[in-house]
Structure 1
Amino acid sequence: MGIQPWVIVEAPDARGLRKVVINGEVVGSAWSFDELVRILGRLGHPPSMDMDDPATVLWRGGDRAAWPDRPWRRRATAAVMLLGLLASAVLHMLIGWPDALKALTFAQRIVGAIFVLAGLVQCVAAAAVFDHFGRRHARASGALVLLGAFIALPTSATLIFMWLEEREYTPYLLVFVPLSLWSVWALFLLVREKAWRGVPQPKKFAAGVLFSGLLTAVSLAYSTMYQPTAEPIRFVLKATFGRPQTDTDSDYVAVPLTLYVKNDGGIPVYIVNDDYTVWGSAFSRSKEGEGLRNWAQDTKFRYVPEAERYARASDREVLRTGHFYGPGAWLDAGEEFSSQKVVRLPKDAPYSELEATVGMNYMRKDRGRIEDRFGSPVFSWDRNNRRFYCPPEKCGENVVYHGRVLHNNNLVNVTRRPRYITAIWSPRRGPSVFISSFDFTRRGLYVYGESIDKAEVAREKNRFGTAMISANAKLLTSGFLTRPGDG
């Protein structure tokens, strides 16, 4: 029977790592001859021991020169794997965190939480890279890295698919396009080396991977294909004139006006612009029934074409106008608001009829979020605010509200250019609303009518669920206004 050697150095494995066995027990592994000497030194073997003596060291699968490890390649592969997992983890958290905290619906928050959880799993997988590409002390490290790479593939593929719909540049494009290529490379590498080996119950692990993949696919499909609830928006909007108040010692009449709105539906909404206007108009009598013959001339004084036989319409004049609720505020489901206004008229004002109109532009809160700065007005005639300034002789005098608008589905936000909502109000032109990629970063302000991209505005309004509602009321002035010539 031969003499049992003190040390056995096993043949290199697929990565070039050789196990070191002493007295039948694995005491370590070495990538190189120098590392083998250090291991033996820590165990008390003298540096002068003869490594070529078969009675001292038994070399299997190659002699002392057989060290096939390529450290630069192994470390580079580990570094690329680590960076890819960390980048994917950060991307998942950036996508999921806003939805998990601020999404309006519970389902959207669940989807956001799934993305955050996926990012945390990839952080654990990134930590497992050091062991999997090192000594592999933890049996499950390879499976964890495989799971992290598997999570990255459907997310990056979906982001590319969504980006192709608009093909707009976004900084995230520099992340998810390389990330998709990385995920294919990482999965190919890990599957080729069967990274799941060493897991105590590989079938259960495979089932878990498939379940996580299915969950990710479902959440992505829900996020990309889900359209916010189709429940209609219902409002109660009213304008009501009160009883005119007169005073014998005054030359004026005070006409109360009550404006009322209630969100009678189940979806909260932003009020992005609003306006109320009180008009005064006069009619001249047409005893001969000439009103029908001259209806084409009268139509220019009306919003809706009408014809009346015994009355002729005249031009309308604005008596009072302004905001009712205020841009940037919102109405929760069931919330109501009312405001009292007073219209003051001279007793001899030449009006036979008063008309009040109230309108609101709203945006569904289940479609998007508007940043807080939108509610702070800026003035187009203010030279100190160069970003929004436009000469009054060119643009008129406008009050402008401007801010970022975000989709409730953050997957859309990272695959599109930023969108901004702009509301404009002035006494002469009334309210208007635009949603587009314009951010007032240059002169030539399109919102003042110079270069409106009507197709983009219409598309974005539809996506964010913006619309307008209006109501009106009329009051005959007979009995409280003494018009010239009435006696």
Structure 2
Amino acid sequence: MLVLLLTAVPVGWCGFQDFTEALTFAGCVTGVALMSAALIMVLGVAAVVDCWVRGASSNFGMIALISTGVALLTNVLLALQIWNDGELVVFKVLTIVLSVGSLFAVLLVWRRLDAIPTPKRVAVALIVSTAVAVTNFSYQYLFQPYRREATPLVQLNVGKAVLSADRKAFSVPVDIKLVNHSDLAFYVLGAEFHAMGEDVTVSRTDVSKSKWREEAEKWAMYREKHPLTRREVYQPGKLVEAQPWMPAGNWVEANDESLTRAVVQLPSDTNFDKLTFYASLSLARKDRLVLQKFGESGYSWRGKVLPQWVKDEKKENDTIVQTAGMRENNAIDNLTRKKRNVTTFWIFGPHGVDVSLAIAPVGEEDRPLSSQTIREVGSRYGLLDVLAGPVEETLEEVKAGR
């Protein structure tokens, strides 16, 4: 009876949470299955009491046997899932203890039964319920997390420049189009747009092989990409504009499109050889987590402590930090895993802006993550980085568009 109660209460609570708040249809089905199992176990408590007090009868004895069998199946499946995904040791130990206790309960009830009425029907019922539970478990926790991925598309379109009324500046409109043709929705964790002004010197002779190799190694470290030609010598670009183009915490609906316009303003006497435009979008699948509201921004120049992996060797970079709470996409994982935060880092450097994000347990944000852990986190929560650009325009083309 104690095993049934200890199993029924948390299983029923998790089932209700999944049924009312699940992010997927499979999660709702899991919630219904868990609540049904909890109801059977509650009925089994009364049957077990009757079985032990008044002796085994055909009706109450069978109810007790079925309920303890359901408890055993439920605890075994929960143990498999929690040992695979859970992080809190207390729940791992508890599921093992309950599984062993359920097994003993099944054996004890079985031994007290004089005979099993309609054994074929009982066997069919147990086989069908087991098959349904295993199928739902496999779909929810094994197949669905690894279904085909989808990636939205970001497009940049540079418009015609507009001269200001006093003719001292001109503005370049850039349309940023987001296209999501998939049946999945996404949270926006960070969306940045930036423009770089660049100078290109053309040499009359080929650069030396050693110089060419040096340039190849240098540009490989940055998002800015340039052709490694023998005659063109690219200088490090200058950041002329950087801004978010979608608020962090918003979401992209399935089968939807959106259009945002950014405007880059420059003095009329700007003498760059060309302008290069970039956009990026950091996303998380909406069916993998529940994102809460981002809090106030923190600034590295105002004393905000940064993880070591953000500092690296370029301590002169300015960084803006945004943090939001989150919870898992199902009640069981939300109960058995550590609480986590989503943190985005806007890193401003000489080669533009990079948006990096981290999902880590509360209090462990500074702990360095291995490459394998980063891949596992990205796969679990459906993290995506969508890049657009470089879109290059010579300054003559931009000004001629006026």
Tell me if both proteins adopt one fold, taking TM over 0.5 as the criterion.
yes
Aligned with 1:404 (options 326, 348, 352): 326
Aligned with 1:175 (options 85, 91, 94): 94
Query: Counterpart of 1:215 in 2: which secondary structure?
Result: helix
Moved more, 472-481 or 133-142: 133-142
Question: 1:258 offset after TM fit, Å?
Answer: 1.2
| Residue identity matched to 2:65 | L
Residue aligning to 2:297 = 378
1:243-258 matches, cutoff 5 A: 243-247=160-164, 249-258=166-175
Question: 1:90 offset after TM fit, Å?
Answer: 2.0
The answer to whether the 8 Å contact 2:160/2:398 transfers is: no
The answer to whether the 8 Å contact 1:277/1:320 transfers is: yes
Residue aligning to 1:127 = 46
Structure 1 residues 384 and 277: alpha-carbon distance in aligned structure 2, compared to 1, 3 A threshold: closer
Structure 1 residues 328 and 292: alpha-carbon distance in aligned structure 2, compared to 1, 3 A threshold: farther
Residue aligning to 1:20 = none
Question: 1:382 offset after TM fit, Å?
Answer: 9.7
| Residue identity matched to 1:289 | T
Residue aligning to 1:76 = none
Structure 1 residues 284 and 206: alpha-carbon distance in aligned structure 2, compared to 1, 3 A threshold: closer
The answer to whether the 8 Å contact 2:289/2:327 transfers is: yes
Query: Counterpart of 1:172 in 2: which secondary structure?
Result: helix
Residue aligning to 1:363 = 284
Q: Deviations over 1:264-300 (max 9, x none)?
A: 11222222222111111111232x1335764345543
The answer to whether the 8 Å contact 1:354/1:477 transfers is: yes
Which has the larger strand fraction?
2
Report the Cα distance in structure 2 between the residues aligned to 1:418 and 1:228, rounded to whole angstroms: 20
Question: 1:131 offset after TM fit, Å?
Answer: 2.7
**Which of the pair has more CA radius of gyration?**
1
Report the Cα distance in structure 2 between the residues aligned to 1:196 and 1:210, rounded to whole angstroms: 19
Question: 1:126 offset after TM fit, Å?
Answer: 2.1
1:265-276 matches, cutoff 5 A: 265-276=182-193
Q: With structure 2 as the length reference, what TM-score do the two structures score?
A: 0.83
Gaps of 5+ in 1: 1-80, 483-487
Question: 1:165 offset after TM fit, Å?
Answer: 4.1
Indicate yes or no: 2:342 matched with 1:421: yes
Report the Cα distance in structure 1 between the residues aligned to 2:245 and 2:79, rounded to whole angstroms: 44
Residue aligning to 2:232 = 311
Indicate yes or no: 2:128 matched with 1:211: yes
Q: Deviations over 1:365-409 (max 9, x none)?
A: 34x112323x33431459899999x99x8984422223224145x
Report the Cα distance in structure 2 between the residues aligned to 1:386 and 1:195, rounded to whole angstroms: 69
Question: 1:469 offset after TM fit, Å?
Answer: 1.4
Residue aligning to 1:231 = 148
Q: With structure 1 as the length reference, what TM-score do the two structures score?
A: 0.69
Q: Deviations over 1:346-376 (max 9, x none)?
A: 112231111111111222234x112323x33
1:15-414 matches, cutoff 5 A: 81=1, 83-135=2-54, 140-165=59-84, 168-194=87-113, 201=118, 203-228=120-145, 230-247=147-164, 249-286=166-203, 288-291=204-207, 294-296=211-213, 298-299=215-216, 300=218, 303-304=224-225, 306-366=227-287, 368-373=288-293, 375-380=294-299, 396-408=318-330, 410-413=331-334
The answer to whether the 8 Å contact 2:292/2:324 transfers is: no
Question: 1:334 offset after TM fit, Å?
Answer: 1.2
| Residue identity matched to 1:326 | P
| Residue identity matched to 2:392 | K
* Structure with more relative contact order (C-alpha pairs < 8 Å, separation 6 or more): 2
| Residue identity matched to 2:359 | I
Question: 1:418 offset after TM fit, Å?
Answer: 4.2
Structure 1 residues 336 and 291: alpha-carbon distance in aligned structure 2, compared to 1, 3 A threshold: farther
Question: 1:150 offset after TM fit, Å?
Answer: 0.6
Taking only the aligned residue pairs, the percentage that are identical comes to: 21
Report the Cα distance in structure 2 between the residues aligned to 1:204 and 1:248, rounded to whole angstroms: 87
Report the Cα distance in structure 2 between the residues aligned to 1:369 and 1:289, rounded to whole angstroms: 56
Residue aligning to 1:475 = 393
The answer to whether the 8 Å contact 1:381/1:397 transfers is: yes
| Residue identity matched to 2:205 | G
| Residue identity matched to 1:357 | Y
The answer to whether the 8 Å contact 1:360/1:469 transfers is: yes
Q: Deviations over 1:310-355 (max 9, x none)?
A: 4321110111112222322221211111111111111122311111
Query: Counterpart of 1:461 in 2: which secondary structure?
Result: helix
Which has the larger helix fraction?
2
Residue aligning to 1:430 = 354
Q: Deviations over 1:181-209 (max 9, x none)?
A: 21011111101101776x6x555344323
Q: Deviations over 1:2-48 (max 9, x none)?
A: xxxxxxxxxxxxxxxxxxxxxxxxxxxxxxxxxxxxxxxxxxxxxxx
The answer to whether the 8 Å contact 1:143/1:195 transfers is: no
Gaps of 5+ in 2: none
The answer to whether the 8 Å contact 2:4/2:68 transfers is: yes
The answer to whether the 8 Å contact 2:318/2:348 transfers is: no
Structure 1 residues 352 and 256: alpha-carbon distance in aligned structure 2, compared to 1, 3 A threshold: same
Indicate yes or no: 2:380 matched with 1:458: no
Structure 1 residues 219 and 236: alpha-carbon distance in aligned structure 2, compared to 1, 3 A threshold: closer
| Residue identity matched to 2:125 | G
| Residue identity matched to 1:398 | I
Moved more, 100-109 or 120-129: 100-109
Structure 1 residues 204 and 405: alpha-carbon distance in aligned structure 2, compared to 1, 3 A threshold: same
